[in-house]
Structure 1
Amino acid sequence: MAQHTVEFEVAGPWSLDTSREFWEEMAPLGPASAAGGGGALRTVFHADADWRRVGAEVTQYGSTARVVVAGDGDLVAAAEQVRRFLSLDVDARGWPGVAERDPVIAEVQARWPGLRPCGFHSPYEAAAWAVLTQRTGMTSARRMRDDLIARYGTGGAFPSPEALLGLDYELPWRKTEYLHSVTYAALDGLLDGAWLRALSPGEAVRQVQQVKGLGVFSAELVVLRGAGHPDTLPTQERRLEEEVAERYGPGRGLTEIAENWRPYRTWAALHLRVLRGERLGTAAVRPARAA
């Protein structure tokens, strides 16, 4: 098995430990997909360049990230995919400036310094999760996902599109049909992370909506948390609208408030979700201790 290592400076605030704690809330992963309680983060996934299984290890040394990927496929592309799903490819030197313009964002930055949105390993995995959660509670969706990993996955990784085509039992709410549709789209390149990221967010959402079973809500999840677009807004998240009303008061809309978040609107929206989780007692990460 080949191995490839890349080291690079991460532009702007970043904490691997904080981001790791946040990951499960933003992009629920399989039981073996995000290991490491400190130090290195280890995860397994199928690279969307060739759908080969990849093992990845990420370590932080100050502002430097070290990514080690191992597998039999295109490891250069796999390393770039790691950068993308951990938001390490985003220049966040302007992110503290958003806090200067918005005291709510200042609060979340102070509580969780260095937090970067961590997404699904790929738009394909995000699309599969979107299907599994349709008309289904999170606990049941996780159970179905874990069963798919056990039956069709490789070494703890979510099944590759080719493997998932072997799904031959019926899941509720047409999920088997829609999962097959997602796999065909992935194999056809419609869910390629680099390609979707290169499109404008609106065009990327329209492209993903071509996949049977993926409406606007699901397509936005794929683009924001699968492709990792850093500067767009979800239009179908009721909980985000509720948190905006709670934090900013009635009469102010998300679009208006988000003007102060550019060019990190996706980041700010996801950070508000973390604040909501803390307020409702469901936060995946703990506030940083005072120095």
Structure 2
Amino acid sequence: MATEAAALHLTDIRLPAREPFDFRASLGFIGSFPAMAGQQGTAQAALTLAVREAGATLGVRLTAAPGASGLDARLAAEQPITAEAVAAVTDRIDFYLGLSDDLAGFYRLARQDEPFARVVERLHGYHQVKFPSPFELLCWAILCQRVPMPVARQMKRALVEAVGNRIDVGGERLWAFPDVDQLARFEEAELVALIGNQRKASYLHRSVRLWAELDEHFLRTGPYQEVRERLLKLPGIGEWSASFLLIRGLGRMERIVLDKEMSRAVQRVYGRPVDEAEFQKLAEHYGAWQGYWGHYLRVGG
């Protein structure tokens, strides 16, 4: 495997973003997100990560585009970078960082909600950062259930290193999370040996194979309830995990649920505890953006 930057193939692309867009807010969130600790770099106002798309492992370095609303991306790979890989990475990064998200309607509604308007003022231009891919979030949702965060990260790292999607760019070693085909090659016993947990290995083994039969475009855009029902059929995915996948993996903002963390966030912003009925009333004000409302509450509340 090549390790010198000079031996890598490079491609530069421009990724536009809907205004308002503040890349500094994205970097701030990523730097404080424990599930991604150690996977991405946020130094020098740049985001560095590795992605696995179109059968290739690519290093990506993202910086704010000068004089434009968007990002400049440099892609690096050990093999020539195909047009298919460029298109796949472009779509993945755009979706991951919410670059195409239109916040205008959300912000108009926020101006009518004085307590929440102060949150928007602090986060103005922040587009929701999702997991790098919904498949990665599926695996994380299984790994992180009922175990301490460091243990879940250790199990995730074991999967990543076992597959070996590594690329060294500019002296920085980057690891991409496996794609579906790569994880599907592992037998259940191999997963048990890697992560040290029989139940989670069983869930992963079965869910990875079922995920391979799903169409990500449909999951992103299909009827909400139908998508939710398909997610709930995946082993290891319950109500909470399905909601997590819908919002943070698939960008489905149409609905939101009241859990303990959300309840605390609402109380911090609105200055009082709310029951389910009042929570739904607050959420309904934001309509199709209620998931964005909930994410902003958690991040900026």
Report the TM-score, using the length of structure 2 for normalisation.
0.79
Query: Once the 2 structures are TM-superposed, how far is the Cα of residue 259 of structure 1 from its aligned partner?
Result: 2.2
1:242 aligns with 264
Larger radius of gyration: 2
- Whether 1:108 and 2:115 are equivalent positions in the alignment is no
2:56 aligns with 52
How far apart, CA to CA, are the structure 2 residues paired with 1:41 and 1:60? 10
1:11 aligns with 18
Deviation per residue, 1:251-273 (Å, 9 max, x gap): 56222101222332211111111
2:200 aligns with 175
- Whether 1:121 and 2:171 are equivalent positions in the alignment is no
Which segment drifts farther, 130-139 or 99-108?
99-108
1:217 aligns with 240
- Whether 1:159 and 2:178 are equivalent positions in the alignment is yes
How far apart, CA to CA, are the structure 1 residues paired with 2:40 and 2:162? 19
Contact 1:27 1:120 in 2 (8 A): no
Counterpart residue type for residue 37 of structure 1:
A
Query: Once the 2 structures are TM-superposed, how far is the Cα of residue 58 of structure 1 from its aligned partner?
Result: 2.2
How far apart, CA to CA, are the structure 1 residues paired with 2:299 and 2:260? 15
1:82 aligns with 93
Query: CA 1:122/1:5 → structure 2, altered by over 3 Å: closer, same or farther?
Result: same
- Whether 1:270 and 2:277 are equivalent positions in the alignment is no
SS of equivalent to 1:264 = helix
State which of 27, 30, 33 in structure 2 corresponds to 1:20: 27
How far apart, CA to CA, are the structure 2 residues paired with 1:27 and 1:196? 25
How far apart, CA to CA, are the structure 2 residues paired with 1:216 and 1:151? 30
Cα RMSD for the two superposed structures: 2.5
Contact 1:4 1:76 in 2 (8 A): no
Deviation per residue, 1:22-69 (Å, 9 max, x gap): 1255572252x321323332211223xx45323223222342333344
- Whether 1:202 and 2:202 are equivalent positions in the alignment is no
Query: Once the 2 structures are TM-superposed, how far is the Cα of residue 195 of structure 1 from its aligned partner?
Result: 2.6
- Percent identity between the aligned chains? 23
Query: CA 1:257/1:236 → structure 2, altered by over 3 Å: closer, same or farther?
Result: closer
SS of equivalent to 1:175 = helix
Query: CA 1:103/1:236 → structure 2, altered by over 3 Å: closer, same or farther?
Result: closer
* Unaligned ranges ≥5, structure 2: 1-7, 167-174
How far apart, CA to CA, are the structure 1 residues paired with 2:72 and 2:218? 24
SS of equivalent to 1:174 = helix
Query: Once the 2 structures are TM-superposed, how far is the Cα of residue 114 of structure 1 from its aligned partner?
Result: 2.0
Query: Once the 2 structures are TM-superposed, how far is the Cα of residue 218 of structure 1 from its aligned partner?
Result: 1.1
SS of equivalent to 2:61 = strand
How far apart, CA to CA, are the structure 2 residues paired with 1:67 and 1:217? 34
Deviating beyond 6 angstroms after TM superposition, the runs of 4 or more aligned structure 1 residues are: none
Query: CA 1:17/1:10 → structure 2, altered by over 3 Å: closer, same or farther?
Result: same
SS of equivalent to 1:42 = strand
Contact 1:131 1:179 in 2 (8 A): yes
Contact 1:131 1:213 in 2 (8 A): yes
Query: CA 1:232/1:26 → structure 2, altered by over 3 Å: closer, same or farther?
Result: farther
Contact 2:15 2:90 in 1 (8 A): no
How far apart, CA to CA, are the structure 2 residues paired with 1:40 and 1:119? 17
SS of equivalent to 1:54 = strand
Query: CA 1:44/1:218 → structure 2, altered by over 3 Å: closer, same or farther?
Result: same
Counterpart residue type for residue 258 of structure 1:
A
1:286 aligns with none
How far apart, CA to CA, are the structure 2 residues paired with 1:6 and 1:201? 33
SS of equivalent to 2:256 = coil
2:157 aligns with 146
* Unaligned ranges ≥5, structure 1: 277-291
Contact 2:122 2:300 in 1 (8 A): no
Deviation per residue, 1:94-134 (Å, 9 max, x gap): 33313302223322222233222111111100000000011
Query: CA 1:30/1:209 → structure 2, altered by over 3 Å: closer, same or farther?
Result: same
SS of equivalent to 2:104 = coil
Contact 2:110 2:116 in 1 (8 A): yes
SS of equivalent to 1:66 = strand
Aligned residues: 270
Query: Once the 2 structures are TM-superposed, how far is the Cα of residue 220 of structure 1 from its aligned partner?
Result: 1.7
